[in-house]
Chain A
């Protein structure tokens, strides 16, 4: 089932949550809505679900206008950040809920419901916990139950609102890999909201980067990462350094006219060397060294401008160079993107 979002506008008082958003989600894709808090991504998801009404604009499922359809009729599966499980029901009853509330005519028989629920529990790998209450489960288990519950009604669209946001880092990583695998099996059109760029890059078929109620860029993970449309996207998908003025670089990704140009370099695209290889290297002083597990973050001050930049090196490179604080070194940006400075980050 494809989803079309057409010119959606949503205002909360004086705050514009969504400003003329148009988006097309092809059938069967797993799409991430990525953006900082307040960017409107959750509001957009809730409008697609029918939990919130847009002030103007339309939502189409498979070309059919659903704007006026109640959330009950939209056949969407919604997964909440904080699970929203029914705590007074067992895991089994939670998953069976959507089937049990169907009108008598379309409700499956008890044994059919039973079989279906057990199938779903097997799918989320929790078949042994059917008779437990949500309070007796871990966060990761609860979210998988919430997912099974949403899938029980065979939704046309699966919507997930920061599904892993309340989980700790390890469970999070595990669960998102699992979600990707699950999606490859069941192929239901899915949209999930996240503020974690790593999560979006790893899981999604397509990423929609949002900021201040607008879509900044939409495309495959490779596209938004390698060819960011603007400094916001670039900055949001990884640490980035600013150089005021145009860096003289062969192969720089140039946008716009010359005045007010700002050059952006990702921190892992900065090389540090002891002696300048060519004229593009800039003299700098090491101000701070921070070790972050597999990588090392080095803060440097550029001699010519006094600007601070951050470089991220692998531990090996760092060891081979034998860098010390307050040392004079040369930095060479590997890949530079230049944008004209009317964007503000």
Chain B
């Protein structure tokens, strides 16, 4: 570790900046999270298992993580498409579209949830055309995916966009000279170079979706066992003054999210194995 050999390091300020970083992370992340686990520790192991594996809670994990993975997947696909269009092609109103992408960041999630629920309900602008085909979006798990996709959109676009901008046009020309068609060039040359950033965007969108509460409760319908998300289970427990139960479920969410993010990170490292 080069960083810790003080006299060999020409970069100044390692001590103060590292100290500040640790303090900052402790106050904002580490201490609240350890309080969570501390509170959970009030439960016996037997009780803890009973709480976190209750059928209704298990169903909520499935809904939350399943929908979040689906939403992040959709975002990974269409986010790359949006980023590609924004970087590669000039078109009128490009700046407007570019600004539009960030809107889900800024919009209060409750507003987003109510709007989406209205648009996708049986007599909403979009919902009325889906309803006759037997597709129900609002107040079903599908609605949860829609809300999660909405709030996760900017993550993939904004992580992939600069990487597409940096792509060297010469490698595409080289591929064309070697006889590759457009699809082969994209699949074999461009996509592998985008993959690390797509995975980062996927991880961010996924993390955001798992933690989302505000917009989903308006569109989900919140039916236990069907369309109830884990954050709502936690809120319900809190409203019933079941603090230990709430923190127990939160702890499971925390660990599960951490493990999934870790796996994505490892995938991301693997996808850029050529760089070192």
**Are the CB atoms of A87 and B180 closer together than 8 Å?**
no
Give chain B nearest CB distance to A189 CB in angstroms: 15
Of A76, A86, A135, the residue contacting B189 (CB under 8 A) is A86
Of B176, B184, B193, the residue contacting A71 (CB under 8 A) is B176
CA distance A77 to B177 in the complex (A): 7
Q: List residues 91-139 of chain A with CB under 8 A from any CB of chain B.
A: 97-98, 100-102, 133-135
* Cβ-based interface call for A268 (8 A): no
Nearest chain A residue, comparing its CB with the CB of B177: A78
Give chain B nearest CB distance to A192 CB in angstroms: 15
* Cβ-based interface call for B275 (8 A): yes
Nearest chain B residue, comparing its CB with the CB of A102: B179
Give chain B nearest CB distance to A90 CB in angstroms: 8
User: What is the size category of the interface that chain B forms with chain A?
Assistant: 20 to 34
Nearest chain B residue, comparing its CB with the CB of A161: B170
CA distance A51 to B202 in the complex (A): 35
* Cβ-based interface call for A72 (8 A): yes
**Are the CB atoms of A97 and B177 closer together than 8 Å?**
no
CA distance A186 to B106 in the complex (A): 62
**Are the CB atoms of B180 and A97 closer together than 8 Å?**
yes
Proximity bits, B151-189, A CB within 8 Å = 1, else 0? 000000000000000001011011111111100100011
**Are the CB atoms of A101 and B173 closer together than 8 Å?**
no
**Are the CB atoms of A153 and B179 closer together than 8 Å?**
yes
**Are the CB atoms of A78 and B174 closer together than 8 Å?**
yes
**Are the CB atoms of A87 and B174 closer together than 8 Å?**
no
Interfacial chain B residues near A49, Cβ < 8 Å: 177
Given contacts A88-B192, A89-B274, A97-B188, contact A72 B179 (CB under 8 A): yes
**Are the CB atoms of B179 and A86 closer together than 8 Å?**
no
Of B178, B193, B275, the residue contacting A149 (CB under 8 A) is B178
Interfacial chain A residues near B180, Cβ < 8 Å: 72, 97-98, 101
**Are the CB atoms of B174 and A80 closer together than 8 Å?**
yes
CA distance A76 to B179 in the complex (A): 9
Q: List residues 126-167 of chain A with CB under 8 A from any CB of chain B.
A: 133-135, 146, 149-150, 152-153
Given contacts A80-B170, A82-B170, A97-B188, contact A72 B176 (CB under 8 A): yes
Interfacial chain B residues near A80, Cβ < 8 Å: 170, 173-174
Give chain A nearest CB distance to B213 CB in angstroms: 39
CA distance A30 to B276 in the complex (A): 37
**Are the CB atoms of B177 and A76 closer together than 8 Å?**
yes
CA distance A134 to B275 in the complex (A): 9
CA distance A292 to B125 in the complex (A): 80
CA distance A84 to B172 in the complex (A): 9
A residues contacting the other copy or chain, number (CB 8 A): 29
CA distance A72 to B170 in the complex (A): 14
Interfacial chain A residues near B171, Cβ < 8 Å: 84-86
Proximity bits, B189-206, A CB within 8 Å = 1, else 0? 100110000000000000
CA distance A150 to B170 in the complex (A): 14
CA distance A133 to B276 in the complex (A): 9
Nearest chain B residue, comparing its CB with the CB of A49: B177
**Are the CB atoms of B188 and A101 closer together than 8 Å?**
yes
Give chain B nearest CB distance to A160 CB in angstroms: 12
Residue picked from B171, B178, B180, B181, most chain A C-beta under 10 Å: B178
Give chain B nearest CB distance to A92 CB in angstroms: 13
Give chain A nearest CB distance to B246 CB in angstroms: 45
Interfacial chain A residues near B178, Cβ < 8 Å: 97-98, 101, 149-150, 152-153
CA distance A133 to B275 in the complex (A): 8
Proximity bits, A60-89, B CB within 8 Å = 1, else 0? 000000000011100011101010111111
Interfacial chain B residues near A100, Cβ < 8 Å: 188
Interfacial chain B residues near A153, Cβ < 8 Å: 178-179
Nearest chain B residue, comparing its CB with the CB of A52: B173
Nearest chain B residue, comparing its CB with the CB of A134: B274
CA distance A245 to B181 in the complex (A): 60
CA distance A82 to B173 in the complex (A): 13
CA distance A76 to B193 in the complex (A): 25
CA distance A84 to B274 in the complex (A): 15
Of A86, A88, A133, A150, the residue contacting B177 (CB under 8 A) is A150
Give chain B nearest CB distance to A175 CB in angstroms: 19
CA distance A300 to B99 in the complex (A): 65
Interfacial chain B residues near A87, Cβ < 8 Å: 193, 274-275
Of A88, A133, A134, the residue contacting B193 (CB under 8 A) is A88
Of B170, B179, B275, the residue contacting A84 (CB under 8 A) is B170
**Are the CB atoms of A84 and B173 closer together than 8 Å?**
yes
Interfacial chain B residues near A149, Cβ < 8 Å: 174, 178
**Are the CB atoms of A97 and B274 closer together than 8 Å?**
no
Interfacial chain B residues near A134, Cβ < 8 Å: 274
Give chain A nearest CB distance to B176 CB in angstroms: 5
Give chain B nearest CB distance to A89 CB in angstroms: 7
Give chain B nearest CB distance to A282 CB in angstroms: 52
17 contacts between A and B (CB under 8 A): A71-B173, A72-B176, A77-B177, A84-B170, A84-B171, A86-B171, A86-B174, A87-B193, A88-B274, A97-B178, A98-B179, A98-B180, A101-B188, A102-B179, A135-B276, A149-B178, A153-B178
Q: Which 10 A-B pairs have the closest CB atoms?
A: A98-B178, A84-B170, A101-B180, A84-B174, A133-B274, A78-B177, A88-B192, A88-B274, A101-B184, A71-B176
Given contacts A82-B170, A87-B274, 16 further A-B contacts (CB under 8 A): A71-B177, A72-B180, A80-B173, A85-B174, A86-B171, A88-B193, A88-B274, A89-B274, A97-B178, A97-B180, A100-B188, A101-B178, A134-B274, A135-B274, A150-B177, A152-B178
